[in-house]
Each structure stands twice: as structure tokens, then as C-alpha cells.
Amino acid sequence: MEFEANVADSGRDVKFTFPVDPKFAVSIKQSATDGTTLGLAYVLDQNLTIKCDVVNPALVPVLPKTTLTGEYVTESFSVETKLETAKKSFKVGFASDIPAGPSGSRFGLLYTGMYPKDKVVLTHEVEAKLGLQQSDYEVALSANFKDLTATPAPVASNISSGFFGLFSVNANTSVFTKIALDQNEINRSHSLGLAYSFNASTTAKLKCSMSNVSSKDKDGKDVITEQRMVDLAITNAFDGKNQATCAVQFKNGEAPKFGVYVTLE
């Protein structure tokens, strides 16, 4: 049996996973926000896994929030499909090594079809990623295209891009950064972080990030403000999958938020 617990100021999440046999597992999660989630996972072979998660299942003629996921993963190629009833969306994506590219280069494509709330018109979204991973660094570029079939044609505000970089300074220290660029000011963000390994089992991560948030002023007009956050987490790994993480978050003059995440097998 595997046990996970996430305790934070915003609430408490607890998850139990029960292996029925080497290929089939059942999980029950109690969340402060979503309630009870029943999860089923079946491994068809070493590469193919099918999952089903049902939020607050009940014997009533109403379709609960259900997520169906299929994953096929090999060392050089992967495919994922996801169907979410709550969001009225489905996703199909793949990632693969680039045969003619340098060693460690990968390309990924994700398609999302969704029916927006209170609408019957299917919208289309495509996200593309190009990455390169080496022994001492990892970089990735992404581009997102929304409302591909909109009339008139999609404008620049429907296109966004991003960058992620992870660089090893030495055997114990690495730095990482993530940048999101968008014509819509509310979707812009950037972060910079540092990870340090004290030993083989204990790691600390510090992340500083800035993003834009939207709110209403006293006249009801939209106001965009810059939000600054600092996250600090210390993780201690034990035998197997057992680990514990303690985290604290500081945000724009608010009281610090604390959290503890524990996984036991």
C-alpha cells in the first residue's frame, strides 16, 4: 500500500493506493477542494497504462467528474490521451526523439479540443515543444496556439511562447528558470530557482517568481498587478518511494503559507 498526505494552510489532502495485483491498483483520495476521488490504474504492458479518476462517485443518474487517461511510454517515444468530462475536453499528444537532431533533442505536440462553458462550438488548441537535454543542462522552447478555427483568423493575442532552462553548476547545485511570454499581459510570468543537494537524500529548492494577476477596483474595472512569490522546499528521501517535503511560501506581503507532503509505501 502507498500513502500520500499533503497538509497546507489551504486544507489537507490524503491519498491511499492499494495494489490489487502487479498490474492493477485502486486509489482513494480525500481532498479539501474536490472531495473524494476514486482512481483506477491498469498496466497493460510495461509501456501502456490506462487510468480512470472519478470525483465524488455516486449511484445517481448524473455523470460525475471523470478523467480517462491513456499513456504509452518508451525511452524514445510516448503518446498520451486524456478525456475530462468536467472541462468537456479531450487531449492527444506525443513526444519523440528527433532522429536527425543532436543527441538528447526531443519534440512534442499536444492537441486540445474543448467546448467552452455554455457554448456548443468546439475550440482547438495546439502546443508544441522543442527540447534538448544533456548531462549538465536542459533547455526547452514552447509555443501555444489557441482558437485555431476562430473567425476571423486567430490574432497575435492567441499565440504565446515560453522557455525553460535547467543548468548544473556542480554535482550538488543547479539553477533553473521559466519564462512565459504572451500578448495578454495577465498571462506573463517568469521565475528563477536554485536547487541544492546536501547529501544523497536531502535536497532544498528556492524559487522566486513574478506574475501578473487581475482584480477589480472599486469601480468594477479590471486592474492588473504584479505578484511576487518566494517558495522554499526541503525534501528528504527515504528507502524506496518514501519521502517527506516541507514547504513555505511568501506572497506579496501576505502571511506565509506552510505545507507538508509525505509519501509512504
pLDDT tens digits, one per residue of 199-211: 989 999 999 999 8
125 within some domain: yes
Asked if 212 contacts 224 with a C-beta cutoff of 8 angstroms, the reply is yes
The reported pLDDT for the residue numbered 160 is 86
In whole angstroms, what is the distance from residue 230 CA to residue 251 CA? 7
Q: How far apart are CA 265 and CA 104, in angstroms?
A: 33
- The residue among 223, 151, 221 whose CA lies nearest residue 185 is 223
Specify whether 15 is located in the same domain as 60. yes
The pLDDT of residue 72 is 96
Between CA 80 and CA 126 the distance in angstroms is: 14
- Residue 183's domain spans which residues? 171-265
Same domain, 52 and 102: no
3-class SS at 156?
Answer: helix
Instruction: Among 146, 168, 190, identify where a domain stops.
Output: 168
For residues 148 and 186, membership in a common domain is answered with: no
Identity at 93, one-letter amino acid code: G
Q: Under a CB-based contact definition with an 8 Å cutoff, are residues 105 and 97 in contact?
A: yes
How many CA atoms are closer than 13 Å to the CA of 253, on its beta-carbon side?
Answer: 2
- The answer to whether the CB of 229 falls within 8 A of the CB of 251 is yes
Q: Quick check: is 78 in a domain?
A: no
Q: Is residue 97 part of a domain?
A: yes
Residues 156, 185: one domain?
A: no
Instruction: Specify the pLDDT at position 61.
Output: 62
Q: Cell numbers of 137, please?
A: 543542462
Residues 147 and 121 in one domain: yes
In a domain, 193, yes or no: yes
Pull the grid cell for residue 144.
501555444
Q: Are residues 45 and 113 in the same domain?
A: no
Instruction: Output the CA–CA distances (angstroms, integers) from residue 228 to 209, 231, 239, in the order listed.
Output: 6, 10, 36
Integer Cα distance of 129 and 217 in angstroms: 37
Q: 33 - beta bridge partners?
A: none
- 230 falls within a domain: yes
| Statement to judge: residues 181 and 263 lie in one domain | yes
- Is there a domain that residue 150 lies in? yes
Residue 31 corresponds to which amino acid?
S
56 with 129, same domain: the answer is no
Residue keyed to cell 495494489:
19
Q: Which residues of the chain have pLDDT under 50?
A: none
Q: Are residues 91 and 45 in the same domain?
A: no
- Of 158, 241, 174, nearest to 206 by C-alpha is 174
pTM beyond 0.75? yes
Q: Are 189 and 162 within one domain?
A: no
261 and 217 part of one domain: yes
Q: Is 157 helix (H, G, I), strand (E, B) or coil?
A: helix
Same domain, 258 and 182: yes
Q: What is the model's pLDDT at position 235?
A: 96
Is the residue at 76 inside a domain? no
Domain termination residue (choose one: 168, 187, 216): 168
Residue with cell 491498469: 42
Q: How many domains does the chain have?
A: 3
Q: Which residue, 70, 96, 131, sits at the end of a domain?
A: 70
